[in-house]
Amino acid sequence: MSALMDFLLRNAGNKGIMATLRCGLVENTQMRAWPLLARFDGMGGTQRARAVRTVAGLFAVHPENCLEGNMGTVCRRLCGSDEKPWEVGENGSAAPGPVGRRFMHMLNADREEICDRVCRFVRQAGSRGIAVNYAALERDLTDWPRAREAWAAEFWAPVKEGGEEEEGGVR
Full DSSP string of 35-71: HHHGGGT-SSSSHHHHHHHHHHHHHHH---B-SS--H
| pLDDT, tens digit, 9 for 90 and up, residues 120-160 | 999 999 999 999 999 999 999 999 999 999 999 999 887 65
The domain of 115 spans 3-157
In-domain check, residue 41:
yes
Q: Looking at the 3D structure of the chain, how many domains does it have?
A: 1
How many residues can be counted in the chain? 171
Look at the alpha carbons of 91, 94, 99, 102 in this order and tell me if their dihedral is positive or negative.
negative
- Other Cβ atoms less than 10 A from the Cβ of 140: the count is 23
All residues at 6 or more sequence positions from 69 whose CB lies less than 8 Å from its CB, including other chains? 133, 136, 154, 170
d(CA 146, CA 142): 9
* Angstrom distance (rounded) from CA 170 to CA 59: 22
Return the closest-CA partner of residue 75 out of 21, 160, 138, 133: 133
Is the pLDDT higher at 6 or at 1?
Answer: 6
Domain for residue 140, yes or no?
yes
Residues 86-120: tens digit of each pLDDT: 656 666 666 777 888 899 999 999 999 999 999 99
Task: With respect to residue 165, please indicate whether it lies within any of the assigned structural domains.
Answer: no
Which pLDDT score, from 0 to 100, does residue 167 have? 42
Please give the mean pLDDT across all residues of the chain: 89
What is the per-residue pLDDT across 40-75, written as a single tens digit (0 to 9) for each? 999 999 999 999 999 999 999 999 999 999 999 999
What pLDDT is recorded for position 169?
A: 43
| 164: in domain | no
- The pLDDT score that the predictor gives to residue 87 is 59
